[in-house]
Amino acid sequence: MAASLWMQFILIVLMASGAVLILRKEEGRRSLYHNPDNVPRYLLILIPFSLGTMGMLLFSDQFSVLTRPLFSGIQIGLIRWPTAILWVFIADIACTAILVLLTGGSYGSPFTSVYFILPALAFFLRESPQRVLAYTLAIGALFVIELWVYEEETKSVKGAVCVVSVGCLILSGWIGYLTRPH
């Protein structure tokens, strides 16, 4: 439960750090990405994403047990834990997909690596194998779609990037499944 809050906080810090570094680079070189007007836009994406995901975790029934003494015994659990963690992972995948799309697609985006940590985090937070499989399939599909969005001089290596990256995603999911706590 507390691990989920830490995981989400660290993930948000990593995404925001990448966004800030890109923004700083963009100020000096306006031709870095295809559409530099999007740079401030994805920084603004992180604010509602952060508030929404952290809020879902904090207002879950699991966290309300911890906060009950702070609120004179009033339980503020507005959402069940399994539902909260499901929506947090869906939001993580969606936010990552948006950031990857806005910053050059799967091949060139600094946010692509976030995709590959999410299934491992889901196993770590004891999500069911069915959910982790669903997350992994969604991530794999988004990665492949976003790999082919931008036409670049890297066209010749995109097939190899696709095979190796999706293969690593499947391998890490499989190892996570085999080594999960029972």
Whether the model pTM is above 0.85: no
User: Tokens at residue 102, please?
Assistant: 């806005």
User: Tokens at residue 47, please?
Assistant: 């604010």
Q: Are 104 and 150 in contact (CB under 8 A)?
A: yes
Least confident of 32-36, 41-45, 83-87: 32-36
- Better-scored residue on pLDDT, 72 or 137: 137
**Span between the terminal Cα atoms of the chain, in Å:** 17
| Measured distance CA(146)–CA(131) in Å, rounded | 22
User: Tokens at residue 114, please?
Assistant: 């976030």
| Measured distance CA(170)–CA(76) in Å, rounded | 38
Sorted by sequence, the CB contacts under 8 Å of residue 81 that are 6+ apart come out as 1, 60, 61, 62
Among the listed residues 46, 77, 83, the one whose alpha carbon sits nearest the alpha carbon of residue 62: 77
DSSP string of 117-165, one letter each residue: HHHHHHHHTT--HHHHHHHHHHHHHHHHHHHSSS--GGGGGHHHHHHHH
Least confident of 5-9, 71-75, 121-125: 71-75
Residue-level pLDDT at 26:
60
Averaged over 2-11, what is the pLDDT?
90
pLDDT in tens, 54-79: 999 988 888 877 777 776 767 777 89
Q: Are 107 and 158 in contact (CB under 8 A)?
A: yes
Residue-level pLDDT at 73:
67
The mean predicted confidence, pLDDT, of the chain is 84
Q: Is the pLDDT of residue 32 over 50?
A: no
